[in-house]
Amino acid sequence: MAGKTIVVANWKMKPATFRDAKKLFDATKKVAEKCPKVSLIVAPPSLYLHEIASKYRGKRISFGVQNAHAELSGAFTGEISLAQAKDAGAQYALVGHSERRAAGETNEETGKKVAAALAQKITPILCIGERERVSGGEHFSIIAEQLRAGLADVLPAKISKVIVGYEPVWAIGGETTMSPREMHSMSIFIRKTIVGIYGDIGHSTKILYGASVGEKNVLAMLREGNVRGFIVGHVSTDPERFATLLKVIQNED
């Protein structure tokens, strides 16, 4: 596979204290230094972002924000702007994560956030994914609509700067997991949809997989799933398991 494997460590609303967040980052940093094949993006709770990012002196880790508002400033109590996220050290932004969509974020809002991130020279990671699958294949139209809306304000010259993260919600934390073969088909569909909008430049889109990602399934997904990396949730807050996951990727032939 050409290029480094992208791994996004989405800490979600963990750890409970900054002291624990620092411990987790120190453990993550230690293993990241031994994994040059991995391009690691750590997305901590926004309250911890500046303190962690400002003290980091290495080159193996970049930082992301889990969510931000599309407007630069204003009367949006409880929100943070992408400009503020950038000032705190974020180079990436998750947009439209399945948990944000479940809380009410719309396709149109994801489009505004993607455009706002690009305006701040932050790389948006546009998360898409269907909640359930039925035999009729309706999920493909859901994915296509999420892509069209999320990329609505992206100029052709900027499309290569957008990363797409595919999260099949039905495969998160459940008994049914997605096979690499299924992911390969979805990757082809995602690229085909983007190429349909932007032309051949859409082939350059980097696609990540994110649903129940762990040390046991990353290798097969990397080899057979047609992906450039992963969005890792709860495993990224378990230092031992996350270290194993990164080492599995590093040792992949």
Question: What amino acid positions are annotated as catalytic residues?
Answer: 97, 167
Overall pTM > 0.95: yes
| CATH assignment of the domain containing 113 | 3.20.20.70
Domain count for the chain, please give it. 1
Structural domain of 142? 5-250
Q: Three-state SS across the chain?
A: CCCCEEEEEECCCCCCCHHHHHHHHHHHHHHHCCCCCEEEEEECCHHHHHHHHHHCCCCCEEEEECCCECCCCCCCCCCCEHHHHHHHCCCEEEECCHHHHHCCCCHHHHHHHHHHHHHCCCEEEEEECCCCCCCCCCHHHHHHHHHHHHCCCCCHHHHHHCEEEECCHHHCCCCCCCCHHHHHHHHHHHHHHHHHHHCHHHHHCEEEECCCCCCCCHHHHHHHCCCCEEEECHHHHCHHHHHHHHHHHHCCC
Which pLDDT tens digit goes with each residue over 25-77? 999 999 999 999 999 999 999 999 999 999 999 999 999 999 999 999 999 99
Which pLDDT tens digit goes with each residue over 92-132? 999 999 999 999 999 999 999 999 999 999 999 999 999 98
* Res 136: pLDDT: 79
* Res 177: pLDDT: 76
